Structure 1
Amino acid sequence: MAHEQQFLDALKSIFIGAKVEGESGYINLMKIKANYFEKGVFPFLMKDIDLICKPFEKDFREELFDKLYDFFQHYFSESGSIYFRNTAQHHNIYEKVYTDDHDVMLFWKTHMLYYVKTDRLFNSMEIEIDSPAKRKFFFDNSGMELKRSNEKRELTYTFKSIKNGIITLTVSYSEKGRKTKIDEIVQAAKDNGMMLDEEMLEKAFAVFQKQSEVDYFINKNAKAFLDEQFDLWLYQYIFKGESEFNELRLKQLQAMKSIATKIIDFIAQFEEELVKIWNKPKFVLNSNYIITLDKITDEALLKEIFKHKGMINQIAEWQELGMVDKKFNLDFVLEKNLLNEPTNPQYRYLPLDTKYFKDLELDILALFDDLDSALDGWLIHSENYQALNTILPKFLGKANCIHIDPPYNTKSSGFLYENNYGHSSWLSMMNDRIVLSKSILAKNGIFTCHIDEYEFERLNILLDMVGFQNAGTMVWDKGQPVTGAYGLATQHEYVIWKTIDNIKIRVKKRNLELIQAQVSKLLKKNDGAILQTIKDYRSWLRNNNDLSPAEKTFDSFEDTGRIYRSDNMSATDKRTDEKFYRPLIHPATHMPCPVPEYGWRYSPNSMDDLLAEQKILFGEDHTTMPRKKTYLDESETSQLPSMYRSGARGKQGLDELGIAFPFAHSIEFYEYILRSAAPEVNDIILDFFAGSGTTAHASINLNRDDGGKRKYILVEIGEQFINAILPRIKKVVFSDNWKAGIAQEGKGISHFAKYFELEQYEDALKKARYEDAPLFAGTQDAYTSYAFLRDLKMLEAVRVDKNDNNVEVNLEKLYDGIDLAETLSYLTGKWIRRITKDTVEFQDGTSANLSAPDWDDVKSLIWW
């Protein structure tokens, strides 16, 4: 019985996962799993084992459980995830790591999994600290709301009580930046007759926080994975351990496989249920709009907004954001001069947030004939896989640029993410999100991704496996070496550029007109003196930090003022054809000039064309090797170089805006990237690791610069969505000039964006209802029947009237604040034209009822 009990205890433990206290969808998941095991798997399994083992001796039953334990214990983790968990090399576990199309593949242990999140398995616990007096603490974790996704959140502690000399502290995750108030805990303990100090509390906190950190995964196809692994295991067991087979032994081995297959079927069916919940489309929740005042073209509506009670909170927000001072009056917005022009034009870019005017929101939206086309951006507060999977039907093939700055997977980086993933967890996290985003990218779109040395090679191979074409890697020279304990001092990072089709990445010569104007200005100043003007011009180039390194190479000009640079014409590889070694004849001395050691870069015909076009630069005599003359104005674009040099830090820009965020790349760097990655004025830009919102800021700046209508889609799960992204968007549309969080005189821009939350996997787990009852009834086959067919899941929102043959849907029973119009837009892939109280009208002319939703429209959201 020892092997049997060992296997059953292990199966229950690893199938249900480690015990976790608190409140969350994961706690509900553990309850569902426990019920599935105890009332579904276990009774049927034991009955079938008894039946199958009956013809054999007792020893076979012990062998069966021993071998089942030996196999399954390799593949289950403490979080209940199914993958290569305990698979040391000596266990001889095999996996196919190549395909017919690729002889080199990137393999990682969790490649068959959806990465959900990394979290700690916190449990309530008692701790004793001896410094200097003994104190006992009890950390109460029972009411803790666990993380919804992989956002980084700090633990906070509050005083609860002191009883029998034990100090009880309540543990929770921080909300809206809330911190532990140690002084309040110390004072509360003092009021209850016990002395504490900060050092003692910090020690207690540290001990409590040293609890297990685990990765949560879902196996994409648990049945196929476990079936394949068991076949390999059984093959090794049979042919490595036995050499003779009789009829009885073959029947025993068949029985062993039959039981293993039944266990796999049970396990796989539950894992498939989790896959369905993970991939189900998600509800849009708590949506609002940010809209600048200039877009409220109905003056009567604008005056109604100004009289609204929510205007008090709106003005307070403007003051808090540094846009207006305490003297601000709404009359300032409407004031006009004798020419009927606004007296205070800067106020037309004040951003309204419709969360203060929900009863007027539909009136505001009614101002637009084509709502989605009028929007400049979508800001999505969500875990990024859920967001990408949800928005995919609507934005399929529509994003012209994907620009992401993911966590670099290092302990020392400044990102507000759970950053220290193992390579496998990190690759799984990146892989599925990149695959989804590739479907959103247009055929001629560009994918760019920031990364450092640590994951650069693995990420590059991953992107190739996903099916991207390599467009090159940009090396960002940050100019400030960071020393380490070993190796080189690092002063660079990378931006990987990929495309779907092979296209040339070009950059617009942004400063072409500026450079030309400067040469004209200096020629006029120096009365046409060329040598002095060239000297002054080169000094101006050296000292102008707004010019790119490539632009600074255009350091000469002709008498006419036409600007050029001198380029080397040597071949990069040694030419073998003699025609590439034909010397050029100097126009003055009529003698042959030197030929490059490797020959000319261009063919003889091309060299003749350059001579005819007077694009060959000769020296004073024939001893100087000729060079090619390249004019600045030959084209408005040039191929983007692979080097970018800048020591600028984004933190300084955030400080000027008054945004508290520890790390960001510079806005100048993002603008430089987007000028090539999203050069067209109507491009759509996607960033699903939005951080502090720098991508949206850069998109807005480009529109401000060239009058474009680029749209952005930002996805972020962390608290910075509320604390950094939203205030940043509001600030930068109001003005492009800030100092210490206060708007200075600058240039605003008209803007209209929507922001909202998405239902999360965790939320769906928490809402899903699975009955606490036997899973199978009657003649159902427990191994092939769908175990959860009779469960409600999220059908509490539905009422069926059998008499009228009618299905009524009331989604308010599930969540407050559902934006059904936006939800249906993503579900159907249709863009919104108009929204009224009861109807959403789509651009294709169809519509949907919002007050009485059609069951067929919402079925996939609430039942799977």
Structure 2
Amino acid sequence: MDSLQKFQDLLKKLFQFEASDLDFGIYRILNYKRDKIERFIQEELKKKVENAFAKHKDERLTDINQRFEEVKQKIIQNFGQEALTPTGELKEEFKNTPLGKEFLSIKAQKDEVKAIDEIKSQVFNDLYNFFSRYYEEGDFVPQYRYSIKGHKYAIPYNGEEVKLYWANSDQYYIKTGLLFRDYTFKAGDYRVIFRIVSAKEELGSNKATKERFFILDDEEPLKIEDKTLIIRFQYRELTEEEVKHYDIEGGSNTAKQEKINQKSYDEIFKEIEDVTLKGFLGQMKNEKPLLLYQLNRFTAKNTKDYFIHKNLRKFLSEQLDYFIKSEVLDIETLEKEKFLDKHITRAKVVREIGEDIIDFLSQIEDFQKKLWEKKKFVLKTEYVITTDRLPEEFYDEILKNESQLKEWQDLGFELPKNKEELKNKKLPIDTKYFSQEFKEKLLEKLTENADL
């Protein structure tokens, strides 16, 4: 794989191209700009590098050609036209003169600039090395680089006596728990949904694991309706029998879940009778069947923390500046070079292309940040109030409300037989089970003498 292809593959991972068929959350934002980003990676990236090299090469050649012509004229004036061969080369007897040495030095610089295209692959390697260090498995890792040797990282510090710092201090922590939402993707013209359902019974002392895992629902694992396949999962501890069934003794939780996913995949395939659907689900994606690939992503997504950087553009721009000065233009490389023009050009191109990519990444990150920081608006408000606090005029309607009575039963409360019991039992009523008119009257009564 050449350096350009390697870097293009990295960019596809950064922009999560493998998730292009997902239709929720950040993937919708990415899909909105997918065509533009793909065009940049596949077509514009190489052209931009070539154009940048051509621009810097032309600028440099213009200056060198001018100096070359000036020293060439001086040679003709001092030594005559015969000092040069018909092809423009300096004859041997004039090479050790001061003008001859200057002529040869400038000519060597000219040849060096013409051969500058040879370091294009080095530019792609530089860009790969820079961006790959800040992304691990699709997640951004904000590590301030200090050195490529010894102590590699530093913390942003302005001389305070005490500095409290943690790795994600410049990021918003987005997910504090499990996101048990439907996970949707497409398989051909079919729609596939992974859905979490509650476990039907407590395992009690029968559970063999403290950790919870995603396993197929034992009651109704699959459901197919109008080209939509719904696969249902439970998220719970496992029994001894299930640990043996999935063969997950030992290893990390991630490895255990992946083993369970493989078993689940095999069981799902056995259950599906639709040959066309099986064909779509079995298509290879990232060296795995589509269904297994999506299943691994689904389980990882629901057990992973997410962060949004507060100022990604500033962070990456500062780090790119440091990277260029310390690694592209590092002193050890420059000491070995006779002429530095090609490395100056290399640094300029790395900065130019790097800033374009940072712009794409920060646009997406800033959009997420705006959504996160946006003030939340209350769409609906309900109240839970115990019955002993309610005026008796509402008791009749409460006792007739079947939804409220059912909730009390589900919560294990004994149902009141009359108004007196309703008052004494201090049962909680939820206004979501009542009409808007009931709620307004109730709030009006409760706030006659004091705020709620």
Give the TM-score normalised by structure 2: 0.56
Determine if the alignment matches structure 1 residue 364 to structure 2 residue 442. Answer: yes
State how far apart, in whole Å, the 2-side matches of 1:146 and 1:39 are: 37
**Which residue of 2 is the match for residue 218 of structure 1?**
308
Distance 1:287 1:293 in 2: 19
Cα offsets for 1:522-559 (capped at 9, x unmatched): xxxxxxxxxxxxxxxxxxxxxxxxxxxxxxxxxxxxxx
Q: Which residue of 1 is the match for residue 334 of structure 2?
A: 242
Take 1:214 and 1:43, find their aligned partners in 2: how far apart are those partners?
34
Count residues with an aligned counterpart.
313
1:78: Cα distance to partner? 1.6
CA distance in 2, matches of 1:115, 1:273: 16
- Give the gaps of 5 or more residues in structure 2: 58-115, 185-189, 198-211, 224-228, 249-255, 263-295
Structure 1's 361 and 352: CA in aligned 2 closer, same or farther, altered over 3 A? same
Paired amino acid for 2:427: L
Query: Residues of 2 paired with 1:23 and 1:254: CA distance?
Result: 38
Cα distance in 1 between the residues matched to 2:45 and 2:121: 16
Query: 1:289: which partner in 2?
Result: 383
The Cα shift of 1:233 comes to 1.1
Higher RCO (CA-CA < 8 Å; seq separation 6+): 1
In structure 2, the partner of 1:696 is none
- Of the candidates 115, 120, 127, which is equivalent to residue 68 of structure 1? 127
Question: In structure 1, how many angstroms separate the alpha carbons of the residues matched to 2:29 and 2:164?
Answer: 32
Q: Deviations over 1:374-408 (max 9, x none)?
A: 34xxxxxxxxxxxxxxxxxxxxxxxxxxxxxxxxx
CA distance in 2 between counterparts of 1:20 and 1:75 reads 22
The whole-number CA distance in structure 1 between the counterparts of 2:178 and 2:47 is 37
Cα distance in 1 for residues equivalent to 2:24 and 2:196: 6
Q: Does 1:355 align with 2:408?
A: no
Aligned pair partner of 2:321 in 217, 221, 231: 231
Q: How does 1:162-561 map to 2 (within 5 A)?
A: 170-172=231-233, 201-203=245-247, 207-209=259-261, 211=296, 214-237=304-327, 238-240=329-331, 241-243=333-335, 246-247=340-341, 249-285=343-379, 287-297=381-391, 299-307=392-400, 311-325=401-415, 328-333=416-421, 346-347=424-425, 349-359=426-436, 360-369=438-447, 374-375=451-452
Q: Is the 8 A contact 1:288 1:355 kept in 2?
A: yes
Considering fraction of residues, name the structure with more helix.
2
Q: Deviations over 1:609-629 (max 9, x none)?
A: xxxxxxxxxxxxxxxxxxxxx
Partner of 2:222: 160
Structure 1 residues 319 and 248 mapped into 2: Cα distance closer, same or farther (>3 Å)?
Answer: closer
Does the CA-based 8 Å contact 1:4-1:65 persist in structure 2? yes
Letter aligned with residue 84 of structure 1: Q
Q: One-letter code of the match for 2:315? A: F
| Paired residue secondary structure (1:144) | strand
**Structure 1: how far apart are the matches of 2:222 and 2:195?**
17
Counterpart-to-counterpart distance in 2, 1:259 and 1:94: 25
Does the aligned pair in 1 maintain the 2:170–2:309 contact within 8 Å?
yes
> Relative to 1, partners in 2 of residues 1:225 and 1:110: Cα closer, same or farther, differing over 3 Å?
same
Contact 1:292/1:352, CA 8 A, preserved across alignment: yes
> 1:275 Cα deviation (Å)?
0.8
User: Partner residue of 2:174?
Assistant: 116
Contact 2:123 2:350 in 1 (8 A): yes
Match for residue 252 of structure 2? none
1:262 Cα offset (Å) = 1.8
Contact 2:145–2:319 (Cα < 8 Å) also in 1: no
Letter in 1 for 2:52: I
Q: Distance in 2 between matches of 1:91 and 1:11?
A: 29
Could you say if the C-alpha distance between residues 27 and 101 of structure 1 is closer, same or farther in structure 2, counting changes exceeding 3 Å? same
Question: How far has the Cα of 1:6 moved from its partner?
Answer: 0.8
Partner Cα separation in structure 2 for residue 312 and residue 15 of structure 1: 51
Q: Which amino acid aligns with 1:280?
A: K
Secondary structure of the equivalent of 2:15?
A: helix
Question: Residues 145 and 228 from structure 1, CA distance in 2 versus in 1: closer, same or farther, beyond 3 angstroms?
Answer: farther
Q: Which amino acid in structure 2 is aligned with residue 332 of structure 1? A: E
Q: What SS does the aligned partner of 2:330 have?
A: helix
- CA distance, structure 2, for counterparts of residue 209 and residue 226 of structure 1: 36
Q: Is the 8 A contact 2:221 2:232 kept in 1?
A: no
Distance 1:287 1:321 in 2: 22
Q: Which residue of 2 aligns with 1:750?
A: none
Q: 1:242 to 1:92 in 2, by over 3 A?
A: farther
Contact 1:123 1:141 in 2 (8 A): no
Tell me how far 1:48 sits from its aligned partner: 2.6
Change (3 A) 1:284 1:45: farther
C-alpha RMSD of the superposition:
4.4
Aligned mates of 1:86, 1:214 — CA distance in 2: 25
TM-score with structure 1 length normalisation?
0.32
Relative distance call for 1:89 and 1:154 in structure 2 (3 A) is farther
CA 43–49 in structure 1, closer or farther in 2 if over 3 Å, else same: same
AA in 2 matched with 1:10: L
Contact 1:289 1:355 in 2 (8 A): yes
CA distance in structure 1 between the aligned counterparts of 2:32 and 2:140, rounded to whole angstroms: 15
Q: Which secondary structure state, in structure 2, belongs to the residue aligned with residue 54 of structure 1?
A: helix
TM superposition shift of 1:53:
2.0
Contact kept in structure 2, 1:23 and 1:145, CA below 8 Å: no
Q: Identify the residue that residue 144 of structure 1 maps to in structure 2.
A: 194
- 2:115 pairs with 1:54: no
CA offset digits 1:150-182 (Å, max 9, x no partner): xx8855434439xxxxxx9934355xx9x99x9
1-structure distance, mates of 2:152, 2:320? 10
User: Separation in 1 of the partners of 2:148 and 2:344?
Assistant: 29
Summarize the Cα distance change of 1:277–1:173 in structure 2 as closer, same or farther, 3 Å threshold.
Answer: farther
Q: Secondary structure at the match of 2:383?
A: strand
Partner of 2:267: none
Change (3 A) 1:84 1:324: same
* Preserved CA contact (<8 Å) 2:171 2:308: yes
Flag the 1:123–1:315 CA change in 2: closer, same or farther, 3 A.
closer
SS at match of 1:143: strand
Q: Deviations over 1:792-843 (max 9, x none)?
A: xxxxxxxxxxxxxxxxxxxxxxxxxxxxxxxxxxxxxxxxxxxxxxxxxxxx
Distance, in Å, in 1 between the alignment partners of 2:158 and 2:193 is 49
**Using the alignment, how far apart are the partners of 2:144 and 2:158 within structure 1?**
24
